[in-house]
């Protein structure tokens, strides 16, 4: 069973979904995933509360690294991309090409882009830190304005 908590952030609401063991999704907006039970904060699981607290700390500028058990659902290729994203230091960026080389798929920058697009755990798996080959902002699940705000937040700290 998964449980979902809706949490307000400075860039809008996010929906946090977790099992008893791991966070499975953090998505922008308030859509509750099918098969998940939405719970109010007063009835949230310890893991949902921990995830919400760590997001608050991130936006307050006191957290640079997340320490949450994660279980995003995806293909082995997607998993390798998402693991690589977690190695991008706070306040830094990489290109899709850099990530492709890091995972040993040098020519697969478009596939890296698609895996980035399908990242089910935004912010914590920092897909916002990936830029186009020319260093410009490219698509983001929350919109380019949110991507820009997240990058600016990290640069200020």
Q: For residue 9, what are the domain limits? A: 1-58
Give yes or no: 127 in active site. Answer: yes
Q: Tell me the per-residue pLDDT of 53-111, one tens digit each, with 9 for 90 and over.
A: 999 999 999 999 999 999 999 999 999 999 999 999 999 999 999 999 999 998 898 99
Are 108 and 147 members of one domain? yes
Residue-level pLDDT at 77: 97
Regarding beta strands 36-38 and 2-9, do their DSSP bridges make them parallel or antiparallel, or are they unpaired?
A: parallel
Tell me the HSE value of 27 on the side-chain side, using a 13 A CA sphere.
15
Q: Within this chain, do residues 39 and 92 fall inside the same structural domain, yes or no?
A: no
What's the pLDDT at 157?
A: 72
- Give the mean model confidence (pLDDT) for residues 5-14: 97
- Secondary structure of 22-80 as H, E, C letters: CEEEEEECCCCCCCEEECCHHHCCHHHHHHHHHHHHHHHCCCCCCCCCECCCCCHHHHH
Q: Do 48 and 116 reside in the same domain of the chain?
A: no
Per-residue buried b or exposed e for 82-107, using 16+ beta carbons within 10 Å of the residue's own CB: bebbeebeeeebbbbbbbbbbbeeee
Q: Are residues 100 and 143 in the same domain?
A: yes
Same domain for 39 and 80: no
- Say what percent of the chain tops pLDDT 90: 89
What CATH number should be reported for the domain holding residue 81? 1.10.10.10
Q: What is the pTM of this model?
A: 0.94
Q: For the chain, what is the mean pLDDT? A: 95
Assign 136 a pLDDT band (cuts: 50, 70, 90).
confident
pLDDT band at 45 (very low <50, low <70, confident <90, very high): very high
- Determine, yes or no, domain membership for 67: no
14, 47, 123, 127: which is the annotated catalytic residue?
127
- pLDDT value at 134 more than 90: no
63 domain-assigned: no
At residue 156, does pLDDT exceed 90? no
Instruction: Assess if residue 66 is contained within a domain.
Output: no
In a domain, 7, yes or no: yes
Q: How many domains does the chain fold into? A: 2
């Amino acid at each position: 069973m998964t449980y979902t908590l809706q949490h307000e952030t400075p860039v809008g609401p996010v929906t946090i979904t977790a099992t008893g063991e791991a966070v499975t999704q953090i998505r922008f907006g308030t859509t509750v995933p099918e098969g998940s039970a939405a719970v109010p904060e007063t009835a949230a699981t310890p893991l949902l509360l921990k995830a919400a607290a760590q997001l608050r700390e991130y936006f307050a500028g006191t957290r640079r690294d997340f320490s949450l058990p994660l279980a995003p659902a995806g293909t082995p290729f997607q998993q390798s991309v998402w693991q690589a994203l977690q190695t991008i230091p706070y306040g830094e960026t990489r290109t899709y090409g850099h990530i492709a080389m890091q995972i040993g798929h040098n020519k697969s920058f478009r596939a890296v882009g698609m895996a980035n697009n399908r990242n089910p755990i935004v912010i914590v798996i920092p897909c916002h830190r990936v830029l186009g080959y020319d260093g410009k902002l490219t698509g983001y699940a929350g919109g380019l304005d949110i991507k820009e705000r997240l990058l600016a937040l990290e640069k200020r700290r």
